[in-house]
Structure 1
Amino acid sequence: MRNPAFWAIAVTLAAGLTGCSATPEPVPRPTPNQLSPARSDALQQEHLDEVWASTGLPDAQRPDVTEERTIALHEWSSTIAACMTEEGIPTEADGGGVSYQSVSNAALVQYICEARYPVDAVYYDQLNESQLRFLYDYLVNDFRDCLHSYDIAVSDPPSLQSFIENYPRNGGWQPMTEVPPSQAIEVERACPQIPEGIYG
C-alpha cells in the first residue's frame, strides 16, 4: 500500500496540536464467530451451490469432487489458478481473482477446483459487530488514505452506527465504487478493501 502524501502545512499544524489532542485508541482486533462443523459445512455447500449454478449445467452433470484441503482467502487466486492449469486450462492469478481464455468447460473446471480446495467457511459467515468496527476503522482511515494517494476523493463516511446498521443491506459504505473505472484495477491491487486480521 502506498503511503499517503502529507502536505507540509498539514504536518506543521499537526505538530502544533500534538499537545492538545489525545491519540485515538486503536480498534481492537476482531473476534470472528466460532462456527460449528455443521455450520461450516452448510456455508461451504451454499457457496459451491452458487458456483455450480453459475455454470448453467444441469444438476445431473454435477461431479463428485474429493476435497483435498481447506484454504485461506488470500490463497484462493493462486490455488485455483494452479488447479485449473493442471486441469488443462492455462490460468493466471490476477489480483484477487483468476483470468483465463474463454473455453467451453472453464466454468466446470473452476467448480471442480473450488470444490477440491474450498475456502474456509469463516469467510462466508456474516461479519459480527467486532469485525464491522474493525472494517469501518480501516475504510475511513487506511483505505481512504490509500485512495487519496491516487488523488481520488470519495464521499464522507457515515457514522459507525449507520455503517453497522446498513452493512447487511448495502455494505454500509463502499468508497471503492467511487473510483474511476480507468483506475480501478490499479487501485484494487494497491488498496485492499478487506483489512488483514478481520478474520482473526
Structure 2
Amino acid sequence: MRRIARLATAVTVCALTVTAVAACSATDPQPRETVEATKDWTTTADQWMVLYRDMLEFRAQGSGIADPPDVEIVRIVPIEEWPEAQVDCLAEEGFSASVYSGGAVEYADVPKEQGPALNLAVYVCEAKYPYDVRRNEPLPEKQATAQFEFFKSTVAPCVTALGYDVSEPPSLQTWLSDYSATGNAWDPIAEAWEASGRNHEVLMEIQAECPREAPGLYPEIDGLQY
C-alpha cells in the first residue's frame, strides 16, 4: 500500500503547524507564495483560481504529468471531507483507495506500468475536489490571532487532559512574530507529538480527541462552488 502524504486532520495543509508539516513528503510540491500577508482575507474568486492553478501545476510537475488535462472543479471540499472525496473519486477513475488513520489517503499498489495512470487519476481527483487552497497560504493576522486564542483556550487544555505536558503559551505578539517569520509557532499538538519522539499513535490519539482549528478560518468566497 502507498499513501498520499497529505492529511486532512491538521490545522492547515503544510502551512500553519508542525503537525501539518509532518504529514507532508519532502517531495510533495507546494504552491508558490502568491498572496501577501494581510490583516484579513482579501482573496477574490479570481485570485483563488490563480492559487488553485498554481497548485495543480506543482502537482503535475511532482507527478511527472507533462500534459495535464483540463479538469472542472466539481466542488471545493471541506478539509474533513477531503479524504473520502478523494477515495470516492479514485474509485470512479478505476483505482482502489481507502482513508488511513489521521486522514491520509492510502491506495493499493499497482503494477509499475499503471503508475502513470494512477498519478493522473490522483491529479484529476485533486482537481475535481480540491480543499480550499488558501490552506497553502499563511493565515492573515485576524485568522492567525483567532487560531492562537483557540490553541490557548481549547486545544492546550484538551491535550493536557489526555496526560501530555504543554508549555505555557507565549504572548500573542510573540506567537504572531514566530508564525510570520518561520510558519512554526507554539502549537500544543505539535509540542506533545515532538515530546513523544514523533510517535504516530500519540499524534493519532490527540487528533482524534482534540479539535485543531478555530472556527471560521476560511470563510466561503462568493463566486466559488462549495
TM-score of the superposed pair, with normalisation by structure 2 = 0.65
Are positions 1:59 and 2:66 aligned together? yes
Contact 1:32–1:122 (CA<8 Å) still a contact in 2?
A: no
Match of 1:170 among 174, 179, 183: 183
Which residue of 2 is the match for residue 186 of structure 1? 205
The structural deviation recorded for 1:80 is 1.1
Structure with greater Cα Rg: 1
DSSP 3-state at the match of 2:99: strand
TM alignment of 1:92-107, pairs within 5 A: 92-94=98-100, 95-103=102-110, 104=115, 105-107=117-119
Query: How many residues were matched structurally?
Result: 168
Distance 1:73 1:34 in 2: 21
Contact 1:43–1:125 (CA<8 Å) still a contact in 2?
A: no
DSSP 3-state at the match of 2:71: coil
Higher helix share: 1
Could you say if the C-alpha distance between residues 190 and 50 of structure 1 is closer, same or farther in structure 2, counting changes exceeding 3 Å? farther
Are positions 1:33 and 2:41 aligned together? yes
Could you say if the C-alpha distance between residues 37 and 197 of structure 1 is closer, same or farther in structure 2, counting changes exceeding 3 Å? closer
Identity %: 27
Distance 1:51 1:68 in 2: 18
TM alignment of 1:45-84, pairs within 5 A: 45-55=53-63, 57-60=64-67, 62-84=68-90
1:193 is matched by which residue type in structure 2? R
1:84 is matched by which residue type in structure 2? L
Distance 2:88 2:218 in 1: 25
Which residue of 1 is the match for residue 32 of structure 2? none
**What RMSD in Å do the two structures reach over aligned CA positions?**
2.2
| Unaligned ranges ≥5, structure 2 | 1-38, 220-226
